[in-house]
Structure 1
Amino acid sequence: MDEALREALRAQLLERREALRQLLIGNAESAARVEIDNSCQSQLSRVEARQDREMARAVCARWERELARIEGALRRMENDEYGDCFVCGEPIPARRLQNDPSVTRCVECAATE
C-alpha cells in the first residue's frame, strides 16, 4: 500500500472516530434512564419512553463497536500491521479499505464468515 493511500485512510479513520465520539457524547443523555412520572403519563407513554431509551442504547452500542474497530485499525497502522486480512494474510484490496478503512478481512474471507 502506498503512503498516500495509507495517509488518506488514516485521515478517514480519524475523522470518523471524532464524529463517533461527538455522537456518543450527544446521545448519552438520550440513552440515560429517565424517571417517568406514573401519575402524569399513560401506560402507552411509558412503554414508548422505554422503547425510545432502548433504541438509543442500541444505537450507542453500535457506535461503540464501530469506534473500537476504528481504534484497532489505527493501532494496526501504527504497528505496520494494517491492510492485511486477519484470516488469510493477503492484502485487503484498496477499494475495500476505502469503503471501510476498519475492515479486517478480504472479501473472500468475509464472505465465509
Structure 2
Amino acid sequence: MDEAQRHALHAQLFERREALRQLLIGSAESVERMEIDNSCQSQLSRVEAQQGREMDRAIRARWERERARVEGALRRMENDEYGDCFVCGEPIPLRRLQNDPSVTRCVECAES
C-alpha cells in the first residue's frame, strides 16, 4: 500500500468516526426525547415503548462497536501496525481495506 492509498484510508476512517460520533449524539438526544414524550403521553403502550428503547440500545451498541473498530484502525495507523491480518500476519488486500478500512483479518482468516 502506497502513501496515497494509506492517506485515503485514513480519511475514510476519520470521516466514519465523525459520522458515528454524530449518530451517537443524535441517538442519545432521541432517547431523552422519547422518555419525556412517553411520560407525557399515554398513546404508546408500555410494550411498544420498551421495544423502541431496546431497538435504540441495540443500534447504539452496534455503532459503539463500529466506533471502537474505527478507533483501533486509526491507532494501528499511527503505530505503523495497520493493514496486516491479526491471525496470519499477511497483508490484508487493499480492496478489502477500501471496502471496510477497520477490518482486522484477511478473507481467508475471517472465513475460518
Common fold by TM > 0.5: yes
Match of 1:28 in 2: 28
Conserved 8 A contact 1:70-1:102: yes
Q: Which runs of 5+ in 2 are unaligned?
A: none
Match of 1:51 in 2: 51
Match of 1:90 in 2: 90
TM-score (norm 1): 0.89
Q: Distance in 1 between matches of 2:24 and 2:89?
A: 33
Q: Distance in 2 between matches of 1:99 and 1:63?
A: 17
SS in 2 for 1:25: helix
Aligned length: 110
Q: Distance in 2 between matches of 1:63 and 1:37?
A: 27
Match of 2:104 in 1: 104
Q: Which runs of 5+ in 1 are unaligned?
A: none
| Structure richer in helix, relative to its length | 2
TM-score (norm 2): 0.90
Where in structure 2 are the equivalents of 1:6-45 lying within 5 Å? 6-32=6-32, 34=35, 36-37=38-39, 41=42, 45=45
Kindly report structure 1 stretches of 4+ aligned residues shifted beyond 6 Å: none
RMSD of Structure 2 on Structure 1 (CA): 1.8
Shift of 1:6: 0.2
Match for 1:70: what amino acid? Answer: V
